[in-house]
Amino acid sequence: MVTSEKILAAHQGLLKTYGFNADLFEKLQQKLKTGQFNPSANLVTGPLTIPAPTAFTSAPEEGSQHATALHNKGQDAIDAGRVALVVLNGGMATRFGGKVKGAVDVIKDLSFLGLRLQVTQKLAPKVPIFLLNSFATHEKTKQHLEENAYFNCDAQKIIHLNQYISVRLKPDGEIFQTDDGQPSFYAPGHGDLFSVLGQSNDFQEFAKHEDHILMVVNVDNIFADLCPQMIGRHLEQAKALSVEIAPQHPGDRGGAPLEYQNKLQIIESFRLPEDFPHHKVKFFNTNTLIFNAHVFRKEYPLTWFRADKRIGSHDIVQFERLMGEITAFEDAAFLEVSRSEPNCRFWPIKTQNDLKGLEKPLRLRYPWLKPSP
């Protein structure tokens, strides 16, 4: 049998560049081989309670004094240089032809990243933007931005960071190899965020100030912009972090805010028992979070979850950490947001069809948008 070391020997440069942790990989691999990482290992082990609506914070009435006060509070923080943005940009858009998702056009001649940069430049020109890339997106993202003159955004504000890298396994724990005999790599989840930012000198220089704030958003959640009111809502709650939650529609699956182990926290759907009443859950996690920057000064014992996937006709296993599990360790506010216009902050885009009908609401929200230079 060919050993893992031999299979990976030709890829040491790539693995080193993207922070492959060989010792951790071997521990997880051994647990899988010895049957300690069955899918049931992901499941919660205690009672769950669906929280009452009063556990969440609703948005202020539009045009109210409260809404204005929150907007002003957030705008003051942005203008003072206290806010930064992280864009989760590690994914490949397999349903869009295998491109870097950030480089896919949302509307003609304007990509997800182009939209994000233009909107941030307009709403918050002082804000530094950290792009959390992966081995699959790092170089192509830099090329995309350079070819499009950074979409008229100040290139000096954009800091490229990278998720880690790991190796896909077969269910028996051996390394999965593609038809050409090569190992298959992946980025092990946005739970990497805490370690990556913790080790980034650029970010730690920002985070050394006690009153600094960080918004984290998926590259494809296009309406979750750096809205001053959302920063104000986070500041009003005075928690270490805030989670944007949206109304759950039939068929939605993802993390949901649930009471578990005497704490309101995000629990991912794959951790729930078969008989869990999903239809009774009213809100779910949009994966847009706002943090006090000091959260990223320490490590958290995030769980390594087993993720079963298919590549072609092959079953494979990945191990991943998830950002939302931070709510098990830090007190969080849960802020209700809309998924319909005019105040939409969650519009899921997973396939080409999800782009249909987007141009009109985008132009209404951001009438100053421009195509790529």
**Domain spans of the chain, in order of start:** 4-365
Cα–Cα distances in angstroms (integers) from residue 280 to residues 51, 56, 169, 334, in the given order:
10, 15, 36, 18
* Residue 1: predicted pLDDT: 43
Q: CB neighbours of 291 closer than 8 A, spacing ≥ 6? A: 213, 214, 215, 216, 240, 241
* Residue 250: predicted pLDDT: 83
CA–CA dist 238, 232 (Å, integer): 10
3-class secondary-structure state, position 79: helix
CA–CA dist 164, 190 (Å, integer): 10
What are the backbone dihedrals phi and psi of residue 44, each rounded to the nearest 5 degrees, phi first?
A: -65, 155
CA–CA dist 300, 182 (Å, integer): 33
DSSP string computed for 253-284: -S-EEEEETTEEEEE-GGGS-TT--GGG--EE
* Residue 350: predicted pLDDT: 84
* Residue 225: predicted pLDDT: 97
* Residue 109: predicted pLDDT: 87
* Residue among 272, 289, 288, 271 at smallest CA distance from 280: 272
* Residue 3: predicted pLDDT: 66
Q: CB neighbours of 128 closer than 8 A, spacing ≥ 6? A: 84, 85, 157, 158, 159, 202, 206
- 116: amino acid identity, one letter: R
- 309: amino acid identity, one letter: K
CA–CA dist 293, 194 (Å, integer): 11
Assigned CATH topology for domain 4-365? Spore Coat Polysaccharide Biosynthesis Protein SpsA; Chain A (3.90.550)
- Does this model's pTM top 0.75? yes
The residues of the chain scoring below 70 in pLDDT are 1-3, 93, 95, 373
- In terms of Cβ atoms closer than 10 Å to its own Cβ (0-12, 13-18, 19+), residue 63 is exposed
* Residue 342: predicted pLDDT: 87
- In terms of Cβ atoms closer than 10 Å to its own Cβ (0-12, 13-18, 19+), residue 343 is middle
Degrees, nearest 5: CA angle 205-208-214: 85
End-to-end Cα separation, the chain, in angstroms:
54
CA–CA dist 271, 45 (Å, integer): 9
Residue 330 tokens read as: 């830090």
Residue 71 tokens read as: 């907007």
* Residue 275: predicted pLDDT: 92
Cα–Cα distances in angstroms (integers) from residue 117 to residues 87, 124, 153, 154, 242, in the given order:
10, 10, 6, 9, 23
3-state helix, strand, coil in the chain (%, to 5): 35, 25, 40
* Residue 6: predicted pLDDT: 87
* Residue among 39, 45, 43 at smallest CA distance from 261: 45
What are the backbone dihedrals phi and psi of residue 38, each rounded to the nearest 5 degrees, phi first?
A: -70, 160
User: Prior bond to 342 cis, omega within 30?
Assistant: yes
Query: For residues 137 and 102, is the Cβ–Cβ distance under 8 A?
Result: yes
